[in-house]
Structure 1
């Protein structure tokens, strides 16, 4: 669901208490027709989500630099790659949640460099994912990663779990949420994991307040690496898809 926040301007007549009649027009307010600088046109600190779209006709870096705290940053599909990269570079450190409707990086090296920044919550909502794999998130420093509209198969899941089992990366990742677009038997997990099922109800607590501070779930399979790191993977079949959550315990 999308909604717009409107700005209403009321003009009082000099010698009358009534409001003056006004005509509403569809007009974009810019730094040129308002006389404001780029930083003055920037969003206020109370805005819940800041969406970046299109290609700017003026330098927005000064406006971005004025923001010290942002609940959510949205990179839209039609946002230019250069603007998207610059926005993420400047605002990621002060943003609680980053939502990508497009991935502006041309190769895995650039994408992994972005993933290594200390994000809290990364939400990727795009089909544009063919050049990347689940293994890219083994090095992420985001606490929570959620993938939507990302086409993943059973082989992607098995490769990721095997790679995580052998991984020596000290990632900040606590929760990875994604969907598998095919049905499969949950017991067909890689044998090397030595995963075992559990029916116990447990509560997972994030190290920081994200969209929620804790998550209660039951079932799934527990996994333990040779270095003692433990994780739990859960599955839920809905709408001919497998919804998967991968929790890494502290």
Structure 2
């Protein structure tokens, strides 16, 4: 029979070398045992994670903490990242308490990314309510729409970037309310499910407020895209959107798409800078078409080819 070692009974001077030889994931797992273990870990081993990601799957939840290490070599200093995975299984804490405990011991105040990968068996929305600063939210296919909608309602006010597979909202009014949120980046992979609750319209894009909006599988009718540009020329709504991009599978005739826009072609190197520092600091292009709105606002349309997909980018200059 193995006798448990009374680690917590050791004097602090004896505990220091023990904690210094522990791997970061061992320190984190130790701190989940109790409040006393958490306080002891904070005193004896200072961890500093560069980022923490939360992954929610069908029957598991885990955090991936990234640590950056510096190793002195004969000629230089090498920097290498190491990710430690911490599972929520059998820790005796609620999801919210578990996240808070890991953030506390790793000195990481916010989550870099939350990944929703499948219908969770554990009720996560209460945990979501405790999160107050998330850089990126990724919603993968397979999540129930009701769960996605609730997660978006809770997390979009505290998230900078959202990537989602499809539109989960019941009607256009709910979708437009979501589009008006002040995100830095919004990416929607599929704007029309097999049985859509409502038909996505390019007019929805006119009121979108993210700085960058990306439709990976957008509407494919050239007539609708042309009408969007015509409506933008006549519209003076005060949207934050600075860059709109979409992929189109239809064969795009540039003359038809630019019809009645009074577009002016150019061939020169240009760099578009966003008004706010985001993961996309700038965009560079060397050809396209300029258009001008009735209130003097200028925009540029560019085209890119990656058969069988045609990419259309719309940049709105400050």
CA RMSD of aligned residues (A): 2.7
Distance 1:32 1:200, change over 3 A: closer
Q: Aligned partners of 1:28 and 1:242: how far apart in 2?
A: 39
Question: What does residue 245 of structure 1 align with?
Answer: 313
Question: What does residue 223 of structure 1 align with?
Answer: 291
Structure possessing the higher radius of gyration over alpha carbons: 2
Question: What does residue 34 of structure 1 align with?
Answer: 91
Which is richer in strand? Answer: 2
Structure of greater relative contact order (alpha carbons < 8 Å, 6+ residues apart): 1
Residue by residue, what CA displacement relative to the aligned partner does 1:8-51 show, whole Å, maximum 9, x if unpaired? 6699xxxxxxxxxxxxxxx8468784321131244855653211
Which is richer in helix? Answer: 2
Q: Unaligned stretches of 5+ in structure 2? A: 1-23, 30-58, 62-86, 104-108
Q: Aligned partners of 1:73 and 1:146: how far apart in 2?
A: 15
**Displacement after TM superposition at 1:194 (Å):** 1.0
Q: Aligned partners of 2:114 and 2:60: how far apart in 1?
A: 17
Distance 1:244 1:102, change over 3 A: same
Q: Aligned partners of 1:128 and 1:41: how far apart in 2?
A: 37
Distance 1:210 1:32, change over 3 A: closer
Q: Which of these residues, 139, 142, 146, is aligned with residue 207 of structure 2?
A: 139
Q: Aligned partners of 1:28 and 1:79: how far apart in 2?
A: 14
Q: Aligned partners of 1:28 and 1:243: how far apart in 2?
A: 37
Q: Which of these residues, 167, 185, 189, is aligned with residue 125 of structure 1?
A: 189
Q: Aligned partners of 1:56 and 1:125: how far apart in 2?
A: 21
Contact kept, 8 Å, 1:52 with 1:74, in 2: the verdict is yes
**Displacement after TM superposition at 1:140 (Å):** 0.8
Contact kept, 8 Å, 1:205 with 1:213, in 2: the verdict is yes
TM-score by length of 1: 0.81
TM-score by length of 2: 0.65
Q: Unaligned stretches of 5+ in structure 1? A: 1-6, 12-26
Equivalent residues in 2 for 1:1-250, closer than 5 Å: 28=60, 33-42=90-99, 44=103, 45=109, 47-126=111-190, 128=192, 131-250=199-318
**Displacement after TM superposition at 1:128 (Å):** 3.0
**Displacement after TM superposition at 1:172 (Å):** 0.6
Q: Aligned partners of 1:191 and 1:96: how far apart in 2?
A: 36
Q: Aligned partners of 1:249 and 1:150: how far apart in 2?
A: 23
Q: Aligned partners of 2:184 and 2:242: how far apart in 1?
A: 10
Residue by residue, what CA displacement relative to the aligned partner does 1:171-224 show, whole Å, maximum 9, x if unpaired? 111001112212233222344321111112221110112222111212111010
Count residues in correspondence. Answer: 230
Q: Aligned partners of 1:51 and 1:61: how far apart in 2?
A: 14
